[in-house]
Structure formats: C-alpha cells, structure tokens
Amino acid sequence: MLIGIVGSLLSGLFFLYRDHGAGARTVKALTLRVALSIGLFLLLLAGHFMGVLPGYSQ
C-alpha cells in the first residue's frame, strides 16, 4: 500500500510537469494518493484497536 502511495505521488508530479498544471490527471493522481493514505491510516487504526499492532507501553 505504501508503494501505491509513493507511486501515485510520483505520477502526480510527472503529470504536473507534463501538463504544466492544467490537466485533470494531476488532480486524479493526488486524490488517489490522499485516499490511499487515509485507507492506510484507518487500517493501522483498526489493527491497533483489534490488538494486532501493539501499542507503546512502559
């Protein structure tokens, strides 16, 4: 999932330079990156609450 986030970020950067900021492909790529990042955060949050990912304890 992290590779997908980085790939979407790089494709957004590529489309930004290629289309000079005027294309809709940049917005779609960055929207996908935000959606994947939120999905990763929710997955980590769910894993923590289910006990799959241990939290920090002293």
Task: Find the distance separating the first CA and the last CA of the chain, reported in whole Å.
Answer: 30
For 53, half-sphere exposure in the C-beta direction (CA atoms, 13 angstrom radius) is: 9
| Mean pLDDT (whole number) for 22-32 | 85
Query: Contacts for 42-49 with beta carbons within 8 Å, 24 or more apart?
Result: 43/1
Domain ranges of the chain: 2-49
For the chain, what is the radius of gyration of the CA atoms? 16
pLDDT at residue 58, as a whole number: 60
Residues 2 and 40: beta-carbon distance below 8 Å: yes
Confidence of residue 37 (pLDDT cuts 50, 70, 90): very high
Query: Is 0.85 topped by the overall pTM?
Result: no
Matching residue, tokens 């990156």: 33
| pLDDT tens sequence across 38-53 | 999 999 999 989 989 8
